[in-house]
Each structure stands twice: as C-alpha cells, then as structure tokens.
Chains A and B, each alone.
Chain A
Amino acid sequence: MTSTQERPAAEIGAPRKRKEDARLITGRTRWTDNVVLPGMLHLAMVRSPFAHARILGIDTEAAENAPGVMAVLIGTDLADEQGALPNAWAVVPEQKAPTHPSMAVDHVAFAGEIVAMVVARTAAEADDAAELVDVDYEELPPALDLKASAADEVLAHPDLGTNVSAVWTFDSAESGTGQDVDAAIATARESGIVIEREIRQQRLIPAFMEPRSIVVDPTAEQLTVWSATQVPHFVRIFIALVLGIPEHKIRVIAPDVGGGFGGKLQFTPEEVLTVIAARRTGKPCKYSESRSESLMSAHHGRDQVQKVTLAATKDGTVTGFKAELLADMGAYLGLVTSAIPLLGALMYNGIYKFPAYRLTFTNVFTNKTWTDAYRGAGRPEATFAIERLMDELAAEVGADPLEIRERNWIKHEEFPFDTVTGMRYDSGNYEAATAKAKELFGYDALRAEQRRRRESGDPVQLGIGVSTYTEMCGLAPSRWLGSMGYVGGGWEHASVRMLPTGKVEVITGTSPHGQGHETAWSQLVADRLGVAFEDVEVLHGDTQIAARGLDTYGSRSLAVGGMAVLAAADRVIEKAKPIAAQLLEANVDDLDFTGGRFGVRGTESGMSMGELAFAVFQGHKLDGSDVERSLDADATLDPDDFSFPHGTHLCATEVDTETGGVKIRSYVSVDDVGLVVNPLIVEGQVHGGLAQGIAQALFEEAVHDESGTLLTGSFVEYLVPSAADLPAFVTARTETPATTNQLGVKGVGEAGTIASTPAVVNAIVDAVRHLGVTDIPMPCSPYRVWKALQEGTRS
C-alpha cells in the first residue's frame, strides 16, 4: 500500500536540483499577476512628481468620465478609512515619526507618493484615466541632503518640527562590555595610529525581478488577498490592525514570489489601497506596478553616512572603534526602517577583539522614497566600514592586510567569545577559512604580479582586496527582538503531516521567494523520516494553510524555520513509536528507528513509516481511545541566540588607469555557513549575494536631482549587472557547526552581499594606492576612479 520502503541515500548534504525551479524559470506558475478572477477590476495609481509639496486640490472629473472607469479615489475620500501604515520598531521609546498615510491627503513627502487611484474595467483604461487626474500642487523646498537634513536646515515634514527621528547609542564602557573609546583614541593619537574616514553607503534599490502585485477578492466570507510579498503573515495582521477588519476574516496568499531581497519585507500603501478599492466596489481588484513605479516607490535600501574612527597601536593591534552614523529614513518609517542601522550596530567589530567601542546612529527624515530592509540590512554597512578600515590600517602599518587581521581576530580556541558589544559568537574558525582562500586565490603569485606591474608602470594596475566578515543570522530570538524595541517575535512554526499513502506534507511558516525552501525542507524531512525526497511536499505562503509563521528575511529560514521543521519531524517519530510498538507487539524500549523503519531489536520484525501511516489511517489495530489517530505533529521554535556565519573573501581587480575602468580578475569566497543541507542552494545564494554586493561596489546607486526627482528611474540608468559583467566566482567552504541549533546550520542568504562590497573596493584602492589614492566613493564607476586618479596624481 505504501510507496517508499527503502531509506534513500543521506539527503542532508546532497546537491539536489531545486524541485521548484522548472515552474519558476518557465514562469508557468502562480505569480500574483497571473491571478484572474471573474469581474475583476484594475487599479492605476497617480503619483506625485514632486518630492515635497502641498496638495491644493485634485480635479478628478475628466478621469471619472473616461471609458471604463468605475471610481476615482483621492486622499480626502479615504481620510477616515485608510488608517496609518505601521512602523514595527521603536529603536528608542521617544522615536518620532510622521503619520504615514497610504494615500497622501494634503501633503506629499516624496516623488512617487500616491495621491489618487483609478479603478477601471481594464488595466489600459485605468492607466489612460490616471493621466487625466489633475492635481494642483504648491511645491515646497525638499529636504534632500542627509547631513543638511540632520541639521534641520529644511524640514521634510514641517509639522513634525524636526527631521531627527531617533538617536541611539551603545557604549562599551557604559554597558560594562569594554573600555572607554575616547581614552583609547586619545592614547592612539599620542603613541599609536588613528584612522578616520567618512564613508557614504549609497542609496540602493532592491530591484527584485517580479514587480509588486496585489489581487483582493472581497466576494466571499473571508477577504482573500494575493500579494507578491515576503511576509504574508505580517500582511494579514496589518490589514486587520490598520483597516479594522477582523483577522479571522482575512486570508493572505503569497503565491510564487519573484525575488524580494528585503524589498518585499513590507506592508505597503498599495496593499491597503487595493483592499479599500475591492471593498468599496465589491469586486475583485488587481494592482500590478510598472517597473518605473517599482523603482521609485518600493522602499530603497542603505543610504547612510558613516563617520568612523579606528584606534590602534603602532604594530596594528586595534584598541578602540567609534562610529557616528546618519541614516536616511526617507520620507516615512516603513515596517523596520528605523531598525536597519540597529541591525548592524553591534557588528562593527566584525571578527575582531576590540577593547573599546561606541556607536551612535541618528535616524533622519528626507523627502526621498522611504528606506527599509535590503539584503543584509545594516550588516553590509557595518562590514564595509570595518573591512575598509582594516585595509587602511594595514597600509598605515605597512603590513599585509591578512596579517593585520590575524593579529586582531578571535582565535579558533577562544570560542565561544563574548564581544565588546555584548554578543556571544558561538563558533568560528577564521584561520581555516583564510588559509583556504589564500591557497585558492594564489595570493602570493598575485602579489608578485602586482609588484611587477607597479614597477613597469603598466597602465593596467592590479589590486588585491580582502574581506574577512562575520554576520548575525537567523533573525529570531524573540527575547532579543523585544529588548531592542521590536513589536513582534522571531519564532518559527512548522507542521509535518503523514498522509495515508506514506507521502508527507510539510507546512512551514517561512515564505520563500526564490530561496528553494521546498527542496531544502524536503531534504530535511526525507532524511529525518526516512522517506523519499520526492514523497515530501512543502506548503507555504498561505495563511489558511500555514496558519502560523513569521516569514522569510534576515537569513532566518533554515536556522529558525528549518529547525522547526526538524523538530516537528522528530515529534512525528516520537508519536509513531508507541503506536509502532503496539502494532509490532513489542516493547517501546526494544524499538529502533533507522532508515525510515521501526524495527524490533534483534528480530526481523519491523514497519516502515509509510506502513505505519496507513495503519494509523485505518485505525483497525489501534488499541485505546487515548492513542491519537494521526502521526501529524506541529512544532514552534524560538532559538536562544543568533548564528554567526563567517568567511574570507579575496578579490583581484585590474584598474585601467587611462579610463578608470575596473575589471574583476578573480574572486574567491570561502564561506563558513555551518552544516550545509544542499550545496547547490548554498552556492546559488553565494553567487547571487556576490553579484549584489559587487553591484554596490561598482554599479548601483539611486541618484536624485536637486529637486528630488529620481534620475535612475529605469534600468537604463540604474545599472544592475548581469552575468556578462561578473567574473567566474571561485567558491569554497569550511564547516564549523553553529552550536545554537540542532543541526549546526548558520544561514547563507546574505553572506555574499555582506562580504563582497569591501573586498572589491579594497582591491580597487589597493591597485592605485601608489598613485596617491586612498579612497573612492561607491559605486566606483570609471569616472570616479579616473577622477580619484587625477586628484591623487595632483596631490
């Protein structure tokens, strides 16, 4: 009766091709925009072309009379209904923020803010009518420059009275985790080395492949919402809280979602407005944004100014680190906008032993698109700062940048290690990762070539950049999140259901949007229950199926969600054991469970999980009403601590000193992400992450003109690299298991992005340091490299 009797080969660690890929790659699947419902209406948004303006009046008459138009709604129509969009993270209790409407009522605070919405029979009619909405604006001076805005020179929200949302500080002397940083710097000024830098983390656009899309069906008892989101569970709760619809009357579905990178970790104005339109018209409504709308109005990322100071002894031993950050919130606080600098604030010490540390960040409003999570969220900024500084320290000392790092990093035998910021790094082996990277890279040969090119005055100079990073992964510990001001928790939930025919359904509260959870979770369960990989189906992203969950972001899915899946699978086995004992007429203590089979020790007698599932389904032979007629089990998991992946990345760049052009000659990444469930998926995450981190170093930047208009409003100007622009990556791993979860996994979603940006910039600076260049702002475009060379040669 049952299908799979034999235990498959070990699944955990197997390079399985992703089962979801065929449908994702061909697009023959359930993207939100593919959802078509009877009688469905279409929305178009009218967006402010001005960064800062007062709305004097809106004339909707022409639009209302246009063909196919059912309704035109403006902010004053919705004032009572729309509520305010939530911010879920008060980084300080006194955090300030303007009210965040889904549709502007009388004031617009960034170019792209929605001022009106057209509901029409077809998408084309909605777009046509949107052009006829006539908005009368009175332009106001925009707050654009981050430093000037921090000084309140121009107010982004005059009613708020200031642009400063919050100021947050951590000081190791005050919290008793280290010494006083000012004293360390003063000493270093006298007898050591002090390195000071101002770094610009440029504004980036997440640029997920699938634009955001929402369909709302109001015609049944439950309001059903499809959304191209990373966080269906959040969306359900916030629709309830913001619009006052009872939570149990809402079902949210994130079908297949085409990328997010943090950009879809949001509760959006468009979601609120589509719900409102559907409820008002009583018909299903769809809104799918255009690429232009996506680039200008979906939240942006990064955008910080970092003033950093590193104090060290003459031999390059770091004695203190201080950072003052300005973080651009943009016009409003989104879900976790305020906490992005916080997520990196305790990681500027990287892999090193710093005796003293202080970090202050100031969150500042401007009249630009709001920022929020973008792959790495706070940790790329932290890693960039410290890894750039370590290269500068090496240059100052005149030592090899790897040697300087080794002098300062936490030794393998020193784990677990309590850092100067109060974090506990559970495990790590920086020596092993670095040794492996050096060897794969051919470090010494490249250094020799670099010397030759310098000596011969080659127009193409070679540089080597280092990045030895760590990051905190597995965004979870609910207690930590609460103590830092977040309103939600960080646990994760899973169910494992044994079906009568021996197949298995796994339900996860994480919400994949390209990560391959269906494959990896199948491997976990196949391994644990001893069933075939193909016999496991992973369900997710629908609040009616995956009732509990906190979704996917912050490299949490495997370390938190995957471990919940394992815990549920373990419970299935626990539940099955006494039943197996009953059916096999044996003592529980005499049973072994191996290879998916309960066997009576010392006999031939036994039963597979599949046979057991069918027997439980029949219930014929089960004795006692207290024996549950199901092997299904749920588990919820809330880890005690983060995990800390790390690694060593080495990059060699060739810099054409005549044009400023930069070519990555070779790139080696050795990552330690703990135990690997599927090496192909890890590889994919590393490759994609590297591309995104390299893109920050070389290509991408959201640029606004002096009136606040986004100049990089299409992919002609916003340069997302493709495979043709990237080198063949050499990737490898070391494996130091995490001690904070049962498998020893750590998380790999953000590692490549976090590590690669400083490796590339360090390599460029290293190539031209002898020509008088000590820094180049990102992205290091040929023009900027050329200008830096001009200035370097002059001075």
Chain B
Amino acid sequence: MIPAGFEYYAPTSVDEAVTLLHDHEDAKVLAGGQSLFAVLRVRLAAFESLVDLGKIDELRGIRDDGDALVIGAMTPHSVVQIDPQVFDHARLISLATATIADPQVRHRGTFGGSLAHADPAGDLPAVAVALDASFVIAGPGGRRTVGASEFFQGVFTTAVGEDEVLVEVRVPKYTGWGAHYEKFNRVAQQWSIVAVAAAVRLEGDTIAEARVGLTNMGSTPIRATAVEQALVGQPATADAVRAAAERAADGTSPPTDLNGDADYRRHLASVLTRRAVLAAAGTG
C-alpha cells in the first residue's frame, strides 16, 4: 500500500530538527522507518510532515565517555551489533541486537528508533532498563537527561515529547560482566513472545551483582528487581538460580495474544530467566 502524502524534511542538525518539529503541526520524526513506515503504509496513521534524522551526522556513532558508552540514536543495529566497545562494555546490547529481525531490517533500523518506538515486544528497551541506561533528549528548551525507568511510559509511549528528539543513550560500562539475552519466539523473524536480558558479575563462584530485564511482560520493559536481589550473594548454580528465577513474574501483568496467555508468559518468564542468568554466568 501507499502511505498518504506528507511533507518531507531532512535537517542536518539536531537544532534544525527540533525547530522543524516545533514549527510544524502534526510532524513526526523518521529514523530507519522500519516501524514507522509499516504503520504509514497500512494507513493506521498519517502525518502531515516527516522529519528525517538520517542526514544528522552527530546522531550516528558510538563513543567512549569514561565510565559510560554513548550510543548515537541514529546508529543502525548492524553497526551496534558488531561494535567492539559495545561488546566489551555492554555485551547485552550486542547480543540482543543480533536477535532483531534480519540483516536487512538491522541495516535500516536504528538503536534510538527502537527505544523511541517503545514496542513492548521490542528487544532493546528491556536491555536499556536492565543496564540502567540514561537518555539524552533535545527539545526547544535545550537538552535534558532521563533515566530508563522514567523514559518508558507505556505502549509506544516515552518521555520524548512531540517536538523533541532522542539524541543519544548513555550506558554505564559493565566491563567483565557475563551477559545473555534469552529470546523466545516461534519463527526467526518474529518479535519476542517473552525475552529475558541478564547480566551478572561474579566474584569467584558467587553472584556479586545482577541485572535482569524482561521483554513483553507488560506495557513497558520491566526490571526484575526481586530476581536481582535474590541472586546477589548466591552461588551461580542451577538450584540457586532456579529459586531466584521463580520470582521473575512477580508484579507483572503480561499480555494475552495468539502466542499465549498471561499465565503462560509468567511461566516462560521464570524459565527463561533461569536460562538467561545461568548462561550469563557461564554455567548455562
């Protein structure tokens, strides 16, 4: 199908993009278009103007900023997936990105687009929540930074306002942590039915710190704090991890759809959490 007509703008700076968004009623940011165009083509939505961020160089790239990595919003999945800094300091992102769709989608789709789209079944939001990422947002009033827990507000809803642009994402370094992204779906190209992002730091055989994020277990990505707490100080053994993982679905209200009901998703959350944590700890 053909989308309804729209005005197309391709600014070359963030300021220019923000001004365009501010000055035009019913304007929408266009990143890789892998989610937005699907919606436009089936005419579930239409916008008078699209502001394409593709020509803004400052939004692309990954840099080391001391104790954090900074990933530009327009960096494509295909770049993030193979970036050595990401692999060394935030491996969970490399692993989760590799599970997104197929090479074609990963070449067009962007890191920031995935986060700004805030699809509950998208893979990167739970990773961002687990890793305590923070989000730099530019608007008419300047730039502000929000934490992951504030950023994701609901299904397809984030802290990014209509005339704002997500500029970059700061991810604290998790150098030396074990990581695993356990994605459960039916065919390779499908979004997650449920997925679990886990990162653990071991001291000897003991879990010293743990981060666990859940994909598609509610309207926003969820940090499984009960599991994290239960893991700390435990040996990285199947039994100990199993006990902690039982609590994965605590306090969640997962969706029911053709792929399963809420009960099934709760059950999956604990099975997949166990597998993710054990794999992250290198004992899976």
Knowing A131-B43, A659-B271, A781-B186, the reply to whether A712 touches B258 (Cβ < 8 A) is yes
Cα separation A722 to B191 with both chains bound (whole Å): 15
B4 within 8 A of A: yes
Q: Are B2 and A124 in contact, CB atoms less than 8 angstroms apart?
A: yes
B156 within 8 A of A: no
B229 within 8 A of A: no
Q: Are B187 and A699 in contact, CB atoms less than 8 angstroms apart?
A: yes
A127 within 8 A of B: yes
Cα separation A781 to B42 with both chains bound (whole Å): 28
Q: Are B186 and A699 in contact, CB atoms less than 8 angstroms apart?
A: yes
Q: Are A786 and B188 in contact, CB atoms less than 8 angstroms apart?
A: no
Q: Are A711 and B267 in contact, CB atoms less than 8 angstroms apart?
A: no
Residues of B within 8 A of A489 (CB): none
Q: Are A703 and B258 in contact, CB atoms less than 8 angstroms apart?
A: yes
Residues of A within 8 A of B272 (CB): 659
Q: Are B187 and A127 in contact, CB atoms less than 8 angstroms apart?
A: no
B282 within 8 A of A: no
Q: Are A783 and B260 in contact, CB atoms less than 8 angstroms apart?
A: yes
Knowing A783-B259, A783-B260, the reply to whether A658 touches B271 (Cβ < 8 A) is yes
Report which residue of A659, A714, A717, A787 has the largest number of chain B beta carbons within 10 angstroms of its beta carbon: A659
B184 within 8 A of A: yes
Chain B stretch 249-263: residues in CB contact (< 8 A) with chain A: 258-261
A290's nearest neighbour on chain B, judged by CB, is B1
Which residue of A131, A659, A711, A724 is within 8 Å of B268 (Cβ)?
A659
Knowing A659-B271, A783-B264, A786-B264, the reply to whether A719 touches B190 (Cβ < 8 A) is yes
Cα separation A644 to B209 with both chains bound (whole Å): 65
Q: Are A124 and B5 in contact, CB atoms less than 8 angstroms apart?
A: yes
A237 within 8 A of B: no
A246 within 8 A of B: no
Separation in Å of the A401 CB from the closest CB of chain B?
A: 27
Cα separation A419 to B188 with both chains bound (whole Å): 43
Knowing A123-B2, A124-B2, A128-B4, the reply to whether A661 touches B187 (Cβ < 8 A) is no
Residues of A within 8 A of B259 (CB): 781-783
- Binary flags per residue of B261-283, CB closer than 8 Å to A gives 1, else 0: 10010011001100000000000
A416 within 8 A of B: no
Cα separation A267 to B116 with both chains bound (whole Å): 46
A662's nearest neighbour on chain B, judged by CB, is B186
Cα separation A699 to B267 with both chains bound (whole Å): 21
Which residue of B4, B187, B264 is within 8 Å of A719 (Cβ)?
B187
Q: Are B1 and A659 in contact, CB atoms less than 8 angstroms apart?
A: no
B13 within 8 A of A: no
Chain B stretch 1-17: residues in CB contact (< 8 A) with chain A: 1-2, 4-5
- Binary flags per residue of B192-223, CB closer than 8 Å to A gives 1, else 0: 01000000000000000000000000000000
Residues of B within 8 A of A714 (CB): 42
A1 within 8 A of B: no
A422 within 8 A of B: no
Which residue of A721, A786, A787 is within 8 Å of B187 (Cβ)?
A721
Cα separation A721 to B41 with both chains bound (whole Å): 23
Q: Are A127 and B1 in contact, CB atoms less than 8 angstroms apart?
A: yes
A191 within 8 A of B: no
B189 within 8 A of A: yes
Chain A stretch 352-373: residues in CB contact (< 8 A) with chain B: none
Separation in Å of the A223 CB from the closest CB of chain B?
A: 27
- Binary flags per residue of A691-722, CB closer than 8 Å to B gives 1, else 0: 00000001100010000000110101101111
B194's nearest neighbour on chain A, judged by CB, is A659
Residues of A within 8 A of B187 (CB): 699, 719-722, 724-725
A661's nearest neighbour on chain B, judged by CB, is B184
Cα separation A720 to B41 with both chains bound (whole Å): 21
A292 within 8 A of B: yes
Tally of chain B residues near chain A (CB < 8 A)? 24
Knowing A131-B43, A712-B258, A786-B267, the reply to whether A725 touches B188 (Cβ < 8 A) is yes
Q: Are A722 and B189 in contact, CB atoms less than 8 angstroms apart?
A: yes
Report which residue of B1, B43, B191 has the largest number of chain A beta carbons within 10 angstroms of its beta carbon: B1
Residues of A within 8 A of B193 (CB): 782
A289's nearest neighbour on chain B, judged by CB, is B1
B189's nearest neighbour on chain A, judged by CB, is A722
Cα separation A135 to B8 with both chains bound (whole Å): 32
Cα separation A724 to B258 with both chains bound (whole Å): 22
Q: Are B260 and A782 in contact, CB atoms less than 8 angstroms apart?
A: yes
Cα separation A722 to B4 with both chains bound (whole Å): 31
Separation in Å of the A565 CB from the closest CB of chain B?
A: 39
Which residue of A131, A292, A719, A787 is within 8 Å of B186 (Cβ)?
A719
Residues of B within 8 A of A721 (CB): 187
Residues of A within 8 A of B43 (CB): 127, 131
Separation in Å of the A710 CB from the closest CB of chain B?
A: 12
Separation in Å of the A711 CB from the closest CB of chain B?
A: 6
Q: Are B258 and A722 in contact, CB atoms less than 8 angstroms apart?
A: no
Residues of A within 8 A of B258 (CB): 703, 711-712, 717
B267's nearest neighbour on chain A, judged by CB, is A786
A725's nearest neighbour on chain B, judged by CB, is B187
- Binary flags per residue of A638-655, CB closer than 8 Å to B gives 1, else 0: 000000000000000000
Separation in Å of the B284 CB from the closest CB of chain A?
A: 13
Residues of B within 8 A of A712 (CB): 258
Cα separation A420 to B191 with both chains bound (whole Å): 49
Cα separation A128 to B193 with both chains bound (whole Å): 35
Cα separation A725 to B1 with both chains bound (whole Å): 28
Cα separation A710 to B264 with both chains bound (whole Å): 24
- Binary flags per residue of A763-790, CB closer than 8 Å to B gives 1, else 0: 0000000000000000001110011000
Residues of B within 8 A of A711 (CB): 258
A786's nearest neighbour on chain B, judged by CB, is B264
Cα separation A727 to B4 with both chains bound (whole Å): 42
Which residue of A124, A128, A658, A722 is within 8 Å of B188 (Cβ)?
A722
Q: Are A128 and B1 in contact, CB atoms less than 8 angstroms apart?
A: no
Residues of A within 8 A of B267 (CB): 786
Separation in Å of the B189 CB from the closest CB of chain A?
A: 7
Cα separation A331 to B259 with both chains bound (whole Å): 27
B260's nearest neighbour on chain A, judged by CB, is A783
- Binary flags per residue of A127-143, CB closer than 8 Å to B gives 1, else 0: 11001000000000000
Cα separation A336 to B261 with both chains bound (whole Å): 38
Cα separation A722 to B5 with both chains bound (whole Å): 33
Q: Are B1 and A292 in contact, CB atoms less than 8 angstroms apart?
A: yes
Chain B stretch 48-84: residues in CB contact (< 8 A) with chain A: none
Knowing A131-B43, A712-B258, the reply to whether A659 touches B184 (Cβ < 8 A) is yes
A128's nearest neighbour on chain B, judged by CB, is B4
Cα separation A722 to B102 with both chains bound (whole Å): 11
Cα separation A124 to B4 with both chains bound (whole Å): 8
Cα separation A716 to B185 with both chains bound (whole Å): 12
Report which residue of A124, A290, A724, A782 has the largest number of chain B beta carbons within 10 angstroms of its beta carbon: A782
Residues of A within 8 A of B189 (CB): 722, 724
Residues of B within 8 A of A716 (CB): 190-191
Cα separation A314 to B188 with both chains bound (whole Å): 45
Residues of B within 8 A of A719 (CB): 186-187, 190
Chain A stretch 717-768: residues in CB contact (< 8 A) with chain B: 717, 719-722, 724-725
A–B Cβ pairs within 8 angstroms, 28 of them? A127-B1, A128-B5, A131-B4, A131-B43, A290-B41, A290-B42, A292-B1, A659-B268, A661-B184, A699-B187, A703-B258, A714-B42, A719-B186, A719-B190, A720-B187, A722-B188, A724-B187, A724-B188, A724-B189, A781-B260, A782-B184, A782-B193, A782-B259, A782-B260, A783-B261, A783-B264, A786-B267, A787-B264
Starting from the known contacts A722-B187, A724-B188, A786-B267, 14 additional A-B residue pairs (CB-CB under 8 Å) come to A127-B2, A127-B43, A128-B5, A290-B1, A292-B1, A659-B268, A699-B186, A703-B258, A714-B42, A781-B259, A782-B184, A782-B259, A786-B260, A787-B264
| B residues in contact (CB < 8 Å) with A | 1-2, 4-5, 41-43, 184, 186-191, 193, 258-261, 264, 267-268, 271-272
Across the A-B interface, the 5 shortest Cβ-Cβ residue pairs: A724-B188, A783-B260, A290-B1, A124-B2, A658-B271
| A residues in contact (CB < 8 Å) with B | 123-124, 127-128, 131, 290, 292, 658-659, 661, 698-699, 703, 711-712, 714, 716-717, 719-722, 724-725, 781-783, 786-787
